[in-house]
Amino acid sequence: MPLVAGLMSGTSLDGVDAVLVDFSENSPRTLATFWLPYPAEIRRQAMQLQAANHDEIHQSAMLANDLARCYAAAVREVLAGASVGAAQVAAIGCHGQTIRHQPAAGYSIQLNNPALLAELTGIAVVADFRSRDIAAAGQGAPLVPAFHAAVFGDPQHHRVILNLGGIANLTDLNPGQPVRGFDCGPGNLLMDAWSERHRGQRFDENGHWAAQGRVLPDLLQRLLADDFFTASPPKSCGRDEFNSDWLERRLAGDERAEDVQATLLELTAVSASAAIGRWCGSPTEVFVCGGGARNDALMARLRHHLPDCRVAGTDSLGQPGDWVEAVAFAWLAWRTLRGEPGNLAAVTGARGPRILGAIYPR
């Protein structure tokens, strides 16, 4: 039975999503899932390394070791949940924790120590997925559209898969047309940061706090004036582009906190729906995954801005939205083991398809 574990820790910096996936059939089957929250110190260090600071090489190396230990703990738990031993698992696909994403400068850094992860688990590790695509002049992201096409494509329906993690990205699945995909702006990242700053809560559950505020039109327009939103794909982004400093520079300073939160939620909804309208033609279905799919207020605004589309979670397609990205990196690792490309050049802008990742044997 070809079993692969997938690990995803995204820009939200909330923790590690772990899945165990069976690839023995045409469609990947998830056998077990587990979520491991980041300890506060790991989250603090990862946030600190988003910008240049003193002794960052040593700090990065030590954090990579700590992350590998977290990843190993998540793998142990997900295997226990499926009553599967390490010897039965072909590999772990581990994305790592992004701290810098600078494809224009030729690099993207995802902290991880895959050799240590292999040593701790006794399982081969596939890691460093982005570098080969960037070496081939690509953005290195998003990488999940190839998985979306394989799992969610339908010959009868024009679908868009919208991932609302810390950053939002979309995949355009138009029958008979090349798959398109790109990052379209902030997902939950800015909302989460604002909620933690003003309420001490890591996220705004179901958008309840945002619902207490009102959208500030002038602020929304200042946010949407960023050139990223109208730039043509291929394109990708991260905390390098969208962060608390980016927001602060656009605030007047006298806004009510709940109004800013409402405006940030609207920013995510407007930028994603505008990207769909501008670059994806006229899809009839939009399926949402990632943490934003559980934000009822955000989903309601997406439906408002996409009145001609059915807007629903990927759960309705058989892939629970909380785990789609982790399953995708298990799938990418499986392709690496089989010597098959994992990127889509039309999505990332690479010179062609490439086998992604480096393999660290068990």
d(CA 234, CA 172): 13
pLDDT above 90 (res 308): yes
90-119: pLDDT as tens digits: 999 999 999 989 999 999 999 999 999 999
Torsion, CA 180, CA 175, CA 188, CA 305, rounded to 10: 110
* 8 Å CB contact between 55 and 45: no
- Closest by CA to 99, choosing from 107, 88, 89, 111, is 111
If you average pLDDT over every residue of the chain, what do you get?
96
Fold of 145-321: Nucleotidyltransferase; domain 5 (3.30.420)
State phi, psi for 64 to the nearest 5 degrees.
Answer: -60, -40
Average of pLDDT values for 313-332?
Answer: 96
Locate tokens 């690792």: which residue? 333
pLDDT for res 35 = 96
32-52: pLDDT as tens digits: 999 999 998 998 898 888 877
Locate tokens 């003193």: which residue? 54
- From residue 239, alpha-carbon distances to 49, 104, 218, 236, 295 in Å are 11, 15, 23, 11, 21
Confidence of residue 12 (pLDDT cuts 50, 70, 90): confident
Q: What CATH number was assigned to the domain covering residues 3-140+323-360?
A: 3.30.420.40
d(CA 306, CA 298): 12
Task: Let me know how many helices (H) and strands (E) the chain has, helices first.
Answer: 13, 13
266-292: pLDDT as tens digits: 999 999 999 999 999 999 999 999 999
pLDDT above 70 (res 360): yes
pLDDT for res 1 = 64
Domain boundaries, the chain: 3-140+323-360, 145-321
132-164: pLDDT as tens digits: 999 999 999 999 999 999 999 999 999 999 999
> Which pairs count as long-range contacts for 45-50, CB under 8 Å and 24+ apart, including other chains?
46/13, 46/97, 46/99, 46/111, 47/13, 49/99, 49/111, 50/99, 50/100, 50/239, 50/240, 50/243
pLDDT above 80 (res 297): yes
pLDDT for res 140 = 96
pLDDT for res 306 = 98
Average of pLDDT values for 79-96?
Answer: 98
pTM of the entire predicted model: 0.94
Confidence of residue 54 (pLDDT cuts 50, 70, 90): confident
pLDDT above 90 (res 224): yes
d(CA 7, CA 55): 28
d(CA 302, CA 11): 21
The residues with which 27 forms a beta bridge, in sequence order, are none
**Span between the terminal Cα atoms of the chain, in Å:** 18
Determine how β-strand 89-94 pairs with β-strand 3-8.
Answer: parallel
pLDDT for res 52 = 79
